[in-house]
């Protein structure tokens, strides 16, 4: 049975843990607010540029730009986006699980799969299992910039146009609410045009390109991929901070419940100890009377 000193030591230890988790929750809440502001500011732009490019690409020939032109799939690139740090619940395990399922599905269909990762958690997961990674990006958590998204997007576009792989899928956590994140599998390359259902819709998409179709797509298509990668990074960052805030809140609540249980146990043990001492005193006094 634990002594009073042992129980007191455990109570102090759990109290220290609760202070840490409470502080981490507050830090994550502040980071989440900033991440949400950046994410919500980018969302309308990312959605609109996607709509514009999909509409523009519908009436033109797909061989006008390599990023538009699909080809027979032999090798598929899967890019898995996780965080660099832990203590965020199932945030990383959910996206890794979805990425592994996608990889296994592609392999079962007969495709070669190359894997790249963003974040230390995904990198460490595959390295522990001896899986070779084509490319690794780390150190972006909390330090996301548009230039980092450009570097990742350019790497993917260069290898796609060099035919290192024939398709690119990005797996990441999309922010829904503070308590809910959704794992998304996004096909980055090749860029798919919108399929219009009626002839009238097609006629409405009869564009005039200035200075030329080639120049417009040479500028806009790489930009759209950069924006998609940048949006995924921001969505993942907001989801990470939300998941960490929720995890730390749950940890704090559990610590407080444990403190209550240990305090009750301490009081019971102390009461029992006092009762035993009183019984010893009474017994000694009775013995002296005899």
Taking CA atoms, 207 is separated from 67, 68, 156, in Å, by 20, 17, 29
Rounded distance between C-alpha atoms, residue 145 and residue 167, angstroms? 25
Helix (H), strand (E), coil (C) string for the chain: CCCHHHHHHHHHHHHHHHHHHHHHHHHHHHHHHHHHHHHHHHHHHHHHHHHHHHHHHCCCCHHHCCCCCCCCCCEEEEEEECCCCCCCCCHHHHHHHHHHHHHHHHHHCCCEEEEEEECHHHHHHHHHCCCCCCEEECCCCCCCCHHHHHHHHHHHHHHHHCCCCCEEEEEEEEEEECCEEEEEEEEEECCCCCCCCCHHHHHHCCCCCCCCHHHHHHHHHHHHHHHHHHHHHHHHHHHHHHHHHHHHHHHHHHHHHHHHHHHHHHHHHHHHHHHHHHHHHHHHHHHHHC
Residue 136, φ and ψ in degrees, nearest 5:
-135, 130
Q: Is 88 a catalytic residue?
A: yes
Rounded distance between C-alpha atoms, residue 134 and residue 79, angstroms? 10
Name the catalytic one among 14, 35, 88, 234.
88
Closest alpha carbon to 141 in 127, 126, 121:
121
The residues annotated with a catalytic role in the active site are 88
């Amino acid at each position: 049975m634990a002594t009073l000193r042992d129980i007191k030591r455990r109570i102090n230890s759990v109290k220290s843990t609760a202070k840490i988790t409470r502080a981490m929750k507050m830090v994550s809440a502040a980071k989440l607010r900033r991440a949400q502001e950046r994410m919500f500011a980018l969302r309308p732009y990312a959605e609109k540029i996607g709509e514009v490019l999909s509409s523009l690409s519908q009436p033109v020939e797909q061989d006008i730009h390599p990023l538009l032109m699909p080809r027979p799939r032999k090798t598929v690139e899967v890019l898995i986006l996780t965080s660099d740090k832990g203590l965020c619940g199932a945030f990383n395990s959910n996206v890794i699980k979805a990425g592994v399922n996608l990889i296994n599905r592609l392999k079962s269909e007969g495709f070669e799969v190359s894997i790249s990762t963003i974040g230390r958690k995904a990198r460490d997961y595959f390295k522990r299992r001896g899986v070779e990674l084509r490319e690794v990006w780390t150190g972006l958590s909390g330090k996301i910039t548009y230039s980092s998204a450009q570097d990742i997007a350019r790497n993917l576009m260069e290898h796609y146009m060099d035919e290192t792989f024939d398709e690119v899928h990005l797996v990441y956590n999309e922010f829904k609410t503070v308590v809910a994140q959704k794992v998304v599998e996004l096909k980055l390359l090749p860029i798919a045009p919108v399929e219009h259902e009626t002839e009238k819709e097609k006629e409405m998409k009869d564009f005039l390109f200035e200075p030329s179709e080639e120049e417009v797509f040479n500028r806009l298509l790489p930009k759209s991929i950069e924006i998609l990668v940048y949006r995924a990074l921001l969505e993942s960052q907001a989801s990470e901070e939300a998941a960490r805030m929720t995890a730390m809140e749950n940890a704090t609540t559990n610590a407080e419940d444990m403190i209550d249980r240990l305090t009750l146990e301490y009081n019971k043990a102390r009461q029992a100890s006092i009762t035993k001492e009183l019984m010893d005193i009474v017994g000694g006094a009775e013995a002296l009377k005899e």
